[in-house]
Structure 1
């Protein structure tokens, strides 16, 4: 199946795993309004495509993403005022009467994306280059990768909804140290702080990400994975255990009526590989909450 072609990212689909490669190596894959729009369009396409079970995001060349392109070579530069983020797409609309933060447009689309996303961080991931990965489900880093939540050193505050995601991913104390100092740190510190789950040699970053993607794509129900992903994230702010208990009860009951639960049990009893046929558009239980829920009006 052919995949869309873009200017600043490239897509490769093989065996139900879609690889999204940030592709501005001459600028260390720095983030631009064009890249923002293309990332959203790629995720829209991947969500609607049943042949995509898992997405891997990585960078071309020696960097993952060196942050916002403040120089603007070959593209309109990123503007912290929001001017550089305007275009005619609905994903660039306003919030609180201001153009939406471009990094937040991408991270909120990733957050609502129902399929697993793995970050294969092959090099520098600075500013939006690391905050865009926070709603991704798994982060694998090269030993050569560097990280930095550098916003305070640029005179601005955290973006891309990272003031929500980062403390939930690594805890408030670690998030505070990294965000308040704005310093750049190495992959081993990222691993100790649980920002990434594995650090591997540079040549092993993509193979490791692909192996995890294969494990998901080959062995799990896409409907069950989508339900699980939404439940895990949405319940981070749930303070009533009974509400979570109700959600799980309703979701399990609904999934048992669908094809994948029946196939999962049958394949186990028959000692064979499962062949899951459930579809997100028809079999995802209504009880599974939409997340994040966009406000009706600001």
Structure 2
């Protein structure tokens, strides 16, 4: 257990809880590192089939920790996010290709994007700023009736982060994305559901049970390697320029999966009218015939 998060694993589901309730689970470098480590652990553990992310207390995540005051977002100045001297080009300008200038929320969002297991957000309370953008690369979001959402960046003099300019329009459409970001207004759970930002709204005590039921429906009768590949394929094809890109990827994936022990077991179990026991494991059997499973270079 870390100091900013907690992790519990039961029945094949990892529950990752943001655990700074006295700070409304505000996001800081420690939380970022612990969350990334939890996703690394989930991907490496074949007994973990899905991940639920939720918050402790009355908030999910109230955004970036602003206790550093006016310098909070000055990553070239005194912000706690600054890890080293500002990288400079030969002409003295900032070297924006350096990993040290990366947005911390984006580092987490891209790690969630690369996850090999389904990721379910159980939004138990306020989720603003990075508290909402970190949920966008999750596969499905459920909300408590007490949840509130806000893309408040323009009200803080900054801009949307965590790669949300890519994720948010794909989830709610460009007009709704612009409205949410231009206004910075806070919306309730029901409006968020109407926009497609969340799948369903639940009484507070019913939220985690509902999230666990969603997780169960994803993993109880499915092949883990197929789920990992499907997740990667669908997310990455959102940016494809032509359906031929999807056809190429589908063809490679079907060819590879069709010869697997999972495919044989899937067909035989269906014909024999029994539960499948899929033999392949994410940790050892994911194919790497295409860059879609690799980490992108920072540039």
TM-score under structure 2 length normalisation: 0.90
What do the CA deviations read for 1:113-144 (whole angstroms, capped 9, x no partner)? 11110000011111100000000001000111
Aligned partner (choices 248, 265, 268) of residue 267 of structure 2 = 265
**Distance across 2 between alignment mates of 1:170 and 1:45:** 31
C-alpha contact 2:233 2:292 (8 A) present in aligned 1: no
Q: Tell me what 1:180 maps to.
A: 182
Give the CA deviation at 1:59. Answer: 0.3
Q: Tell me what 2:72 maps to.
A: 79
**Distance across 1 between alignment mates of 2:136 and 2:126:** 15
Give the CA deviation at 1:291. Answer: 5.4
What do the CA deviations read for 1:18-69 (whole angstroms, capped 9, x no partner)? 0000001111111111101111111111111111110000000111101111
**Distance across 2 between alignment mates of 1:288 and 1:222:** 19
**Distance across 2 between alignment mates of 1:138 and 1:77:** 34
**Distance across 2 between alignment mates of 1:215 and 1:278:** 19
Out of 238-247 and 203-212, give the one that drifted further: 238-247
C-alpha contact 1:31 1:78 (8 A) present in aligned 2: no
Q: Tell me what 1:38 maps to.
A: 34
Aligned partner (choices 128, 140, 143) of residue 141 of structure 1 = 143
Unpaired runs of 5+ residues, structure 2, are 85-94
Give SS of 1:196's match: coil
TM-score under structure 1 length normalisation: 0.91
Q: Does 1:196 align with 2:198?
A: yes
RMSD (CA atoms): 1.9
C-alpha contact 1:234 1:291 (8 A) present in aligned 2: no
Number of paired residues? 285
Give SS of 1:84's match: coil
Give the CA deviation at 1:242. Answer: 1.8
Give the CA deviation at 1:289. Answer: 4.1
Q: How does 1:123-134 map to 2 (within 5 A)?
A: 123-134=125-136
C-alpha contact 1:107 1:132 (8 A) present in aligned 2: yes
Structure 1 stretches of at least 4 aligned residues deviating more than 4 Å after TM superposition:
none
Give the CA deviation at 1:243. Answer: 2.2
Unpaired runs of 5+ residues, structure 1, are 89-93
Aligned partner (choices 7, 12, 18) of residue 14 of structure 2 = 18
C-alpha contact 2:43 2:283 (8 A) present in aligned 1: no
